[in-house]
């Protein structure tokens, strides 16, 4: 299994409408923070997320969070 690529060392904060989202866990997607299929062959898989109501979300951008798919500040500890 590959390690995720650090897309950015900060969360991606955005408004999210209710619905289903597929968070990119590999860091390779060109559609960050969402999956575009770039994980194929890496052994990594996107994470399905259900947002029940409209709210602001801080998606993890470093792909090393302890609470995927949301930022927990882990990016501050990365080299």
**Distance (Å, rounded) from C-alpha 34 to C-alpha 17?**
14
Contacts of 63 (CB under 8 A, 6+ apart): 4, 5, 6, 7, 24, 25, 26, 27
Which pTM was predicted? 0.94
Domain ranges of the chain: 15-56
Share of the chain above pLDDT 90, in %: 97
Contacts of 67 (CB under 8 A, 6+ apart): none
What number is the average pLDDT over the span 45-65?
A: 98
pLDDT digits (tens, 9 = 90+) for 2-17: 899 999 999 999 999 9
Q: Let me know: does 51 contact 21? Beta carbons within 8 Å.
A: yes
Q: Let me know: does 4 contact 26? Beta carbons within 8 Å.
A: yes
Choices 1.10.10, 3.40.50, 3.40.5, 1.10.3470: CATH for 15-56: 3.40.5
What number is the average pLDDT over the span 39-52?
A: 97
Residue of 15, 1, 5 lying closest to 58 (CA atoms): 15
């Amino acid at each position: 299994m590959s390690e995720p690529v650090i897309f950015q060392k900060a969360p991606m904060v955005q408004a999210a409408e209710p619905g289903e989202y597929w968070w990119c866990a590999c860091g390779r997607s060109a559609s960050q923070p969402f999956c575009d299929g770039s994980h194929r062959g890496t052994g990594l898989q996107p994470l399905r997320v259900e947002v029940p109501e409209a709210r602001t979300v801080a998606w993890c951008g470093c792909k090393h969070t302890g609470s995927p798919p949301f930022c927990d500040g882990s990016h501050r500890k990365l080299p």
